[in-house]
Amino acid sequence: MTDVVLIDWGGGNIGSVRYALDRLGARSVLSADADTIANAPRVILPGVGAAAPAMQRLHELDLVNTIRTLDAPLLGICLGMQLLYETSEEGDVEGLGVLRGRVRRIEAAPGVRVPHMGWNRLRRERASPLLEGIEDGEWAYFVHGFVAPMSDDTLASSEYGGEFTAVAGCGRRFGAQFHPERSAATGQRLLANFLAMEAA
């Protein structure tokens, strides 16, 4: 029996996310099949790359409406999280629209190199089962050049050239801007919390 389906659209971090799930004892499946994804108990949208080609690929695979209408808990990781928003400055592209807001570019400045690559602290903004056991000030590993805005959907924030959403959630749709598969105990706990969520 499958615990989680990873959407196999070609995002670069799919293998490492699956390995992190394996370490937690989760039974995962890679799939680009709409029926498999629609009937999954939980779904992860991983991603490394750029928003416009990623959305183009999801359209080509006829997965956009499938993702938008999922009943299962959904977790977007890195670019996968950014794709959950309405629009992105990266390619001026329309996203999946399951989270509100527009993803914006990190502006380079003294001390702010783009893309941002490295460890940053998390600050909890709202309670959520996804953050159970993750405390204020814990470290997570980021690789990104764009950020989601602060909003009512922000569960945890971080700062790099300004405040941004590090973890988002609305209903059963969640996103992590950082890479949980590369964030040691913090990332492992977030993935374990997601796997513990009630299945569809």
Q: Which residues are tagged catalytic?
A: 78, 179, 181
**DSSP characters over 96-164:** --SEEEEEEEPPPBTTB-SSEEEEEE-EE-S--GGGTTPPTT-EEEEEESEEBPP-TTEEEEEESSSEE
Q: Are 144 and 90 in contact (CB under 8 A)?
A: no
**Distance separating alpha carbons of residues 121 and 104, to the nearest angstrom:** 20
193 is written with which tokens? 């919390």
In the chain, count of helices (H) and strands (E)?
6, 14
